Structure 1
Amino acid sequence: MQKAVRALFLSTALLAAGPLAARAEVPNVVVSIKPIHSLVAAIMQGVGEPNLIVEGAASPHTYSLKPSNAAALQDADVVFWVGHGLEAFLEKPLEALGGNATVVELEDAPGLEKLHFREGGPFEAHEDEGEEGHEHAAEGHDHGKEAEEAHAHGEEAGHEGHEHGEFDMHLWLSPDNARAIAAETAKVLSEKDPANAEAYKANLASLNDKLAALDKEVAETVAPVKDKPFIVFHDAYQYFEHHYGVHAAGSITVSPETLPGAERLTQIRDKVKTLGATCVFAEPQFEPKLVNVVIEGTPAKSGTLDPEAATLEPGPDLYFTLMRSIATSLRDCLGQAS
């Protein structure tokens, strides 16, 4: 009788420990920025929670790695980031990981649409920015944005086959790209954690259904203002514009870490005047006074767009809130323009 009770107790203990043991085998996942973290979190729902590096209102353009971030990377089994052209602060830390973690550069995800940076006029770097103390690393290069990226990284364009500044790295602002990122995430996690592959597959299917509904909703939101041009703080919205048919007519600064000079502000103000009543959008992480300078003496309205979700709480729902908020901000501000 005692043996039977002991055996029953042992089997019960093993069953209780089973879920904990399975949970312990879930990969330790680290993600660079909020929009990507949201998509990864959606794929991992019910299995585990990914860690986030760039928290709060911080921007990947100007971020400095914290000791807690470095510790999280050292413990990581999988790291998801966009790539060299966006999170420059991660380059050396990821190289230091060696083969200890699977590092996934999502700009290389299959099926991803990648757009070249726009050039010319309101999207081009100008010499007066250099006069303000922001010298370009590739002065005289035809690609103003590529020069800015090289400047940000402190090196010439090109890094192990990646040409810095060649492509716009705000890839997540297209729902088609979000689907490609989610698919790559599910694939990597399934290979790393085959015990939970079915859960990742189911979560991917659910996420794709939600993204399809979101896509339709956002398209309907911006439809009334598709023909109204606007000015943005920096050129971060090309994927959103390309997918939904809205039109940014220029950016105040080429890259957020480079303050615009007086000549560029004058040029953008002139652009606003020629457009008539329109909108100029600030971003929550950066100096809003520049927007006021641009719209002064014009009929333009001001608004705020948040391409990197600085003001949003991280989690699987963030991506949906982000896309809706951009669409709503465009509709509300442009809808006031005559």
Structure 2
Amino acid sequence: MSACHALRRPFRLLAGAGLLLLASLGPVMAQAPKVFVTVKPVHALVAGVMQGVGEPYLLLKGGESPHSYTLKPSDARALSEAQLVFWVGETLETFLEHPLETLGKQARIIELAEARGVETLEGREGGAWESHAAAHGHDHKHSHDHKHDKKHSHDHKHEHAHDGIDGHLWLDPHNAEAIVTVAAETLAEIDPANAAAYRANAQKMIAQIEALDSELKAQLAPVKDRPYIVFHDAYQYFEAHYGLKAVGSITLSPERQPSAQRLREIRKRLSDSGAACVFSEPQFRPALVDVVIEGSKAKRGELDPIGAALPAGPDAYFEVMRGLATSLRGCLMPQS
């Protein structure tokens, strides 16, 4: 036997042992599908479902407004490569309708405002309103029990019955649970090799959301009757679910500077309602809140419905919700 042949034999044995080891470990997890998600709280829910399999692409990574964002080249590339897209709908991500028709035409599109199990609320008119619990109840909720996803094509016109809905639907924990369920089932359909992982993750996420809901109900109970004013009307789902008493918003649209007349109206609303707090948002000028509360006893707070400064990932949804509850209780709790 030659020396060369003698050297080759141990390497063959090692290679064979390596193959046996790989076989004993079972099948290698299939490559995760490419998933594109628009806003951070929804991205967190989808990321939780995909844990251990892959990571979805997040479009709005910081304090960008979902109402008027402009796609970057990297975003356009991610959208064109996506197999699955989650967005709320044209009522929130107005800028995304056309890119979905062109860049996202090969993807499966999940419009969450129309997804099974998601309940939507109509947008409120004007910037001064009664609390949701008092004036609206649940009469204006729309429930979607049908599946609503599609492959986009050039002749799809986005004609929906509820164009006037409020798009901040993730702020209701029941909707968050529905989003998790829809995400898990859709991912299982397009990626059956990882279906068990998606469904197990979904069960874990839903249990965590239920625990969060109980925690926030207890935290917010002492301030349910305390009136307050927000920067823009983004919290209706949170208010309705927890029975809170928001009475108005500074601006009618987050993309438009409120007029002098609008500021006078909201100052009157502050005085008439006895609102204890006026809340700003990190994406917009806090100076407007100072103008509104000047000369009053109202305090200033901050609310963030999308987690502008939070790191993306499965925990972001829980941090957004806890952040809202902590800010509301901290500002609204009467001084002892």
Is 2:240 the partner of 1:234? no
What's the CA shift string for 1:143-184, capped at 9, x where partnerless?
xxxxxxxxxxxxxxx953225741100000000000011100
Is 2:89 the partner of 1:83? yes
What's the CA shift string for 1:257-294, capped at 9, x where partnerless?
12211111101001111122510000000111111111
Q: Is residue 277–residue 298 contact of structure 1 (8 Å, CA) maintained in 2?
A: no
- Aligned pair in 2 of structure 1 residues 47, 267: CA closer, same or farther (>3 Å)? same
1:31 to 33, 37, 42: 37
DSSP-derived class of the 1:180 partner: helix
Aligned twin of 1:69: 75
1:303 to 301, 304, 307: 301
What's the CA shift string for 1:284-327, capped at 9, x where partnerless?
00111111111111111110000011121110001001101100
Q: Is residue 114–residue 168 contact of structure 1 (8 Å, CA) maintained in 2?
A: yes
For 1:117, give the aligned amino acid: G
How many angstroms does 1:102 deviate by?
Answer: 1.2
Please give the root-mean-square deviation of Cα atoms over the aligned residues, in Å: 2.6
Aligned twin of 1:139: none
Aligned twin of 1:325: 323
Larger radius of gyration: 2
Is 2:58 the partner of 1:60? no
1: CA distance, partners of 2:77 / 2:93: 17
Q: Is residue 183–residue 204 contact of structure 1 (8 Å, CA) maintained in 2?
A: yes
How many angstroms does 1:220 deviate by?
Answer: 0.7
Q: Is residue 301–residue 337 contact of structure 1 (8 Å, CA) maintained in 2?
A: no
1: CA distance, partners of 2:173 / 2:33: 26
How many angstroms does 1:17 deviate by?
Answer: 10
The correspondence of residues 59-138 of structure 1 with structure 2, limited to 5 A, is 59-97=65-103, 99-120=105-126, 122=128
Q: Is residue 226–residue 276 contact of structure 2 (8 Å, CA) maintained in 1?
A: yes
What's the CA shift string for 1:105-133, capped at 9, x where partnerless?
11111111111112256159xxxxxxxxx
Aligned twin of 1:161: 159
2: CA distance, partners of 1:337 / 1:123: 26
- Aligned pair in 2 of structure 1 residues 80, 121: CA closer, same or farther (>3 Å)? closer
How many angstroms does 1:62 deviate by?
Answer: 2.6
1: CA distance, partners of 2:324 / 2:159: 33
2: CA distance, partners of 1:240 / 1:327: 9
Compute the TM-score of the two structures, normalised by the length of structure 2.
0.84
Is 2:275 the partner of 1:263? no
For 1:268, give the aligned amino acid: I
Q: Is residue 180–residue 202 contact of structure 2 (8 Å, CA) maintained in 1?
A: yes
DSSP-derived class of the 1:248 partner: strand
Aligned twin of 1:44: 50
For 1:294, give the aligned amino acid: V
- Identity rate of aligned residues, in percent? 54
Aligned twin of 1:244: 242
Structure with greater helix share of residues: 1
- Aligned pair in 2 of structure 1 residues 337, 110: CA closer, same or farther (>3 Å)? farther
Q: Is residue 127–residue 251 contact of structure 2 (8 Å, CA) maintained in 1?
A: no
1: CA distance, partners of 2:251 / 2:192: 45
DSSP-derived class of the 1:263 partner: helix
Query: Alignment length, in residue pairs?
Result: 305
What's the CA shift string for 1:42-74, capped at 9, x where partnerless?
000111111111112212123111111011111
DSSP-derived class of the 1:167 partner: coil
For 1:61, give the aligned amino acid: H
1:183 to 181, 184, 198: 181
2: CA distance, partners of 1:73 / 1:253: 32
2: CA distance, partners of 1:79 / 1:211: 23
2: CA distance, partners of 1:212 / 1:24: 31
Deviates more, 1:57-66 or 1:90-99: 90-99
Unaligned runs of 5+ in 2: 1-5, 131-155
How many angstroms does 1:197 deviate by?
Answer: 0.4
- Aligned pair in 2 of structure 1 residues 101, 277: CA closer, same or farther (>3 Å)? closer
For 2:98, give the aligned amino acid: K
Deviates more, 1:75-84 or 1:316-325: 75-84
